Amino acid sequence: MVELKKINFAEHIHPHDKAMVLEKHNRRLRKEEFPGVYSFRIKTKAGSELWVEMNDVFIEWEGGPSTLNFIRDVTEAKELESQLYRRRRWKPLGRWLEGSLMTSTIFCLPF
């Protein structure tokens, strides 16, 4: 618990997600209404990248505005979601190739 108090959480937010997370935090402190659940990436102490889902609510803490945050690891769910997306994306092409008379055609698609 002592180690957690020393951590500046914002330093662990992925650079591509930091602006979004800090904006939502500031909006919550201003008591703006918006969905309180969102996902973003963090870097662990060991340097690996994780996807987390945060659920936050506005609270008063020691006489001032604050947020109560619940964070859970959703890395595995995000990876499965990505796999499903890739399968769905290629399925129409696979069906088209199966019915094609020109089965020796090579397709180069940009990524």
| Residue 66, beta-bridge partner list | 59
Residue 49: per-residue pLDDT: 93
Among candidates 75, 73, 58, which has minimal Cα distance to 24? 58
Q: Give the tens place of pLDDT for each residue, 5-64.
A: 677 888 899 999 999 999 999 999 999 988 889 999 999 889 899 999 999 999 999 999
Sketch out the chain's domains with CATH numbers.
2-74 (3.30.450.20)
C-alpha span between 22 and 8 (Å, rounded): 13
Q: Give the tens place of pLDDT for each residue, 73-102.
A: 999 999 888 888 877 766 655 555 555 544
